[in-house]
Amino acid sequence: DSPEKLAAFQARIDAGEQIEPKDWMPEGYRKTLIRQIGQHAHSEIVGQLPEGNWITRAPTLERKANLLAKVQDEAGHGLYLYCAAETLGVTRDELTRMLLDGRMKYSSIFNYPTLTWADMGAVGWLVDGAAIMNQVPLQRTSYGPYARAMVRICKEESFHQRQGFHIMMAMAGGSSDQRRMAQDALNRFWFPALMMFGPSDKDSVHSAQSMAWKIKMNTNDELRQKFVDETVPQAEYLGLTIPDPDLAWNEEEGHYSFTEPDWSEFFEVIAGNGPCNVDRITARRTAWDDGAWVRDALMAHAEKSAARKMA
C-alpha cells in the first residue's frame, strides 16, 4: 500500500464518504472489518442460545410469541452481518470455522447463564440496550454494507429492548417473589452488560486505528458512560437498585460515576473460561455438524441445476 494510496483513502474517510466492496481499501481496514463484523455476526447467532433456553418456558402465549420473534430476529441479524462480511472476501464457512476453532470471538455477555424468567427481562433491557448504544452510531460507520445492515438491526433491537423492559415492569411491579427475581437478574447482568462495550480505553488495542478509519465511531468508555447515564433512571423507574454502592450522579461532569467491571473476569471470559463458554461453542459445533448434510444437499442441487442449464 503506497503512502499516496493510503492518504487518498484516509481523505475519503475524513470527508465522510462511504467505502463500498469494490473500492480499494488498505489490507488492515479489510481485516479489521472482517474481525469486527464477523465477531458481531457470531454474537447475534450465539446470542440466540441464552434466550432460546426460555422459549418453551415463557409464562404466557404472548410472552412466548414475543420471545420467539426476538430470537428469530437475532438469527436474521447474524445473516445480514455474515453477508456484509462476505463482501470483504471471506466466506461464511471460513468465519464459522474460525469461531469453532477459537480464532474468532463473540460477545462476552453470552457466556453467562439465564437462570430465571426475569433474566429474559434483564437481557432484553440491558443486553439489547447496550447493543443499541453501540450499534446506533455504527449506522454511520465508513463501510457501506455494514452501515446499511445496522439500520434495520437497530430498529429491531429497539423492539427487543422494549420487550425486555416490559417483562421487567411486570416482574418489578408484581409479587414480592417476582420483584426479588427482577432484582436478582439485574444484580447478575449489570456488570456483564458493562463489559459488552469492551475493555477500558487504555486497554483497547484497536480503538485508535478503528476510530481513525470510522469503523468505530466512539470509544468503549464513551459508550459505557452513555449506557450508564441512560439506564440508571430506568432502574429507578422500575424501583430496582443497581448493584453498585458507588454509583452517584456527578453534577460537575454531568454523568454518573460508577464502579468499573472486574476486568480480570472479562479477560477470563473472552479467553474461553466464562461460565458457559464450553456450552455455547459445543452448541454451535453441534449445529454446524448436524447441518452438514443440508449444506451438502444444497451444493449438490446447485451443481445439478447448473449442469442442467448447460445441457
- SS3 per-residue string spanning 156-175: HHHHHHHHHHHHHHHHHCCC
> Within positions 269 to 308, which residues make up the interface with ligand ACO, using CB under 6 A?
270
- Does 210 participate in binding ligand ACO (rule CB under 6 A)? yes
**What is the per-residue binding string for ligand ACO in 228-257, x denoting contact by CB under 6 A?**
------------------------------
- Applying CB under 6 A, among 25, 39, 82, 143 the residue interacting with ligand ACO is 39
- Does 141 participate in binding ligand ACO (rule CB under 6 A)? no
39 vs 209: CA distance, rounded Å: 18
303 vs 310: CA distance, rounded Å: 11
Give the interface size with ligand ACO as a residue count (CB under 6 A).
25
Q: How far apart are the first and last CA of the chain?
A: 45
Q: How far is the CB of 223 from ligand ACO (least distance, A)?
A: 7
Burial track 224-240 (b if 16+ CB lie within 10 A, e otherwise): bbbbbeebbebbeebeb
Distances (CA, A) of 249 to 51, 123, 229, 240, 288: 33, 25, 9, 17, 47
Per-residue DSSP letter, 203: G
Of residues 193, 194, 221, 227, the one with CA closest to residue 207 = 221
> Within positions 51 to 110, which residues make up the interface with ligand ACO, using CB under 6 A?
105, 107-108
> Within positions 108 to 127, which residues make up the interface with ligand ACO, using CB under 6 A?
108
Per CB under 6 A, which region of 32-40, 113-121, 174-182, 230-238 contacts ligand ACO? 32-40
- Applying CB under 6 A, among 198, 213, 231, 280 the residue interacting with ligand ACO is 198
Sign of the four-CA dihedral 147, 145, 192, 269: negative
- Does 207 participate in binding ligand ACO (rule CB under 6 A)? yes
Q: Which residue has the cell 468505530?
A: 216
- Applying CB under 6 A, among 149, 194, 195, 281 the residue interacting with ligand ACO is 195
- Does 214 participate in binding ligand ACO (rule CB under 6 A)? no
Residue type, 33: L
The residues that touch ligand ACO, with contacts defined as CB under 6 A, are: 35-36, 39-40, 43-44, 47, 105, 107-108, 131, 134, 195-199, 204-207, 210, 216, 220, 270
